[in-house]
Amino acid sequence: MKLEEILIPKVQEIVKNLYEVDITPAQVQFQKTRAEFEGDITLVVFPFVKAARKAPAMVAQEVGEALQGGIIEKFNAVQGFLNLSIAQSYWIEQLQTIAATEAYGQLTRGEGEKPLMMVEYSSPNTNKPLHLGHVRNNLLGYSIAKIQEANGWNVVKTNIVNDRGIHICKSMLAWLKFGNGETPETRGKKGDHLIGDYYVRFDVEYKAQIKELMAQGMDEETAKKEAPLIKEAQAMLVKWEQNDPEVRALWQKMNEWVYAGFDETYKQMGVGFDKIYYESDTYLVGKGEVERGLAKGDFYRREDGSVWADLAQNGLDEKLLLRADGTSVYMTQDIGTAKLRFEDYPIDKMVYVVGNEQEYHFKVLSILLDRLGFPFGKELVHFSYGMVELPNGKMKSREGTVVDADDLMAQMIADAKEISKDKVNTLPDITEEEANEIARVVGLGALKYFILKVDPRKNMLFNPEESIDFNGNTGPFIQYTYARIQSVLRKAGDQLTLSPNGLTALSPKELALIQRLVDYPAAVRQAGDEFSPAVIANYAYALACDFNSFYHDHSILNEVDADKCALRLVLAQTVAKVIKSAMALLGIEVPNRM
């Protein structure tokens, strides 16, 4: 039983007996004892001082005296704060319970009691490969889904693929004009990378045309509109929306190349989806909803034929929903996608994992869905996260200056192999296959942890060299701690079957380690409430630090006291279990050997 669950009714009873006052459980407030005071947990007595009609220090003293005994070993009162020291027998019992609990830290609910949360992440465009920005998005989305599952939700992981629009037509047109019929097979290149090359090629040729028109005396804005390439791309988009068979066939062929490439990237990254939606399927539903809203008077049509929403009553400006040529925009697609999702699933909470540059977009989406009469409109959650940058600045995909996700992961694995080769090569009976697997796990672990340990709402600077350090707040440091424990457990052999036969005095570092383990469920709850994988990442780091501090000062296998040896083995084994659990919530694997 949790400490608070034991103490709250006792405090209620004591206050009733001492002061003839009934207090609610909410009035019994506990907090972690501050480092400068002795104690494990602190009771704040101010909520019932007025009813007791005594000074805070006196109330704390009287309540402490009444509480002392059982699991309360001793206490000290500081003004209105009662610092309680918990008996070591309680902490040993907690360790044994944690060790015996298979899904420790997870909130269990009956299948019929689980609410359903849909988490959308990734949202790639089919005109380019995934890049570093997508890496942060995918890692955050997948981790949030795992954390919410641990908090008792049924989670549907979903992706909306932006597979239509002017940007898609740009890469299609460039391939038609400059590709000479090449394919991923003939080029020896992943399909998403091949198409990305043509998106960059379009931009190069387009800029050249703009420059030529400006040299002929045209101003820049007019040149951008009149350049032949952009006009052709716009015409191709209209043909696509009119279901032109040639344009559609080309679009389908090139998208298939891209999807095959995406699948490889997602697999290497260790993320996946339960349901994938495609903008090409959802935009028509969105257009239908816009037309319905237009008929109801929710939206209006301008003289050029474009359709807009006036958001002045919401303190915002106007929002384009359909262009003058009848083609749709992202907002149109998102309206249709939201409608389809809520038809497909009994969603209790819809979460969009999208960068903070889209805050306005999702604010408007919520308003428009509500205006269209969808009850879920006001309940949408935009999980807004900061951008990820490199030491040399931002990325621009149309200029070909992105950090490619595939290249980044390959480089991280290669770096991990190089940095860890001296350690790995000393492992007995190590095969090349196992060494490569360790490099993969460590390299990707370094990447994922470095990104997820940062408060997701903040912009971050990704430094590959810092991420793969085996010391400090890094994934490899935590992974190495896990592997170190596994080595101890392998050497323990039959000793692992032993259990402490009697109570043994806990050292301060053993006690601190058990208390850290007890904190794990609270960390999982906090991470779920805040949608923050960083809470789990930093908990895992703190646990690894506590274990290494303990391991530095205490022998495990060479301990002559059998009970102490057994307790330390259970402690080590339990720490490893919780590290593995926490890292799994981040989508990070842990190796048995390093």
What pLDDT does residue 24 have? 93
Nearest to 389 by CA among 138, 122, 133: 133
The residue type at 331: M
pLDDT, tens digit, 9 for 90 and up, residues 469-519: 888 899 999 999 999 999 999 999 877 665 655 567 899 999 999 999 999
- Strand residue runs (E) in 332-475: 349-355, 381-385, 388-389, 460-461
pLDDT, tens digit, 9 for 90 and up, residues 253-281: 999 999 999 999 999 999 999 999 999 99
Looking at the domain that runs over 3-86, which CATH code has it been given? 3.30.1360.70
Cα separation of 319 and 330, whole Å?
11
Contact between 458 and 386 (Cβ < 8 Å): yes
Contact between 318 and 264 (Cβ < 8 Å): no
What pLDDT does residue 465 have? 80
| Topology (CATH level 3) of domain 121-399 | Rossmann fold (3.40.50)
Cα separation of 98 and 416, whole Å?
33
With a pLDDT cut of 90, the percent of the chain lying above it is 84
Please report, for the chain, the start and end positions of each structural domain, with discontinuous segments joined by +: 3-86, 121-399, 426-585
Hey, CA dihedral for 582, 585, 591, 594, is it positive or negative? negative
Cα separation of 446 and 471, whole Å?
12
Token pair 């669950």 is found at 5
pLDDT, tens digit, 9 for 90 and up, residues 374-385: 988 888 999 999
Instruction: Please say if the pLDDT value at position 167 is more than 90.
Output: yes
pLDDT, tens digit, 9 for 90 and up, residues 183-233: 999 999 999 999 999 999 999 999 999 999 999 999 999 999 999 999 999
Cα separation of 443 and 437, whole Å?
10
Contact between 459 and 389 (Cβ < 8 Å): yes
Instruction: Give 84's strand partners.
Output: 41, 75
Give the other-Cβ count within 10 Å of 465's Cβ. 9
Higher pLDDT, 507 or 110: 507
Instruction: Please say if the pLDDT value at position 67 is more than 50.
Output: yes
Phi, psi for 455 (deg, rounded to 5)? -50, 120
The residue type at 288: G
The mean per-residue pLDDT over the stretch 427-449 comes to: 94
pTM metric for this prediction: 0.91
Cα separation of 38 and 58, whole Å?
19
**Both tokens assigned to 320:** 């384009």
What pLDDT does residue 513 have? 97
DSSP secondary structure letter of residue 130: -
The residue type at 158: T
CATH number 1.10.730.10 given to 426-585 = yes
Nearest to 118 by CA among 328, 340, 284: 340
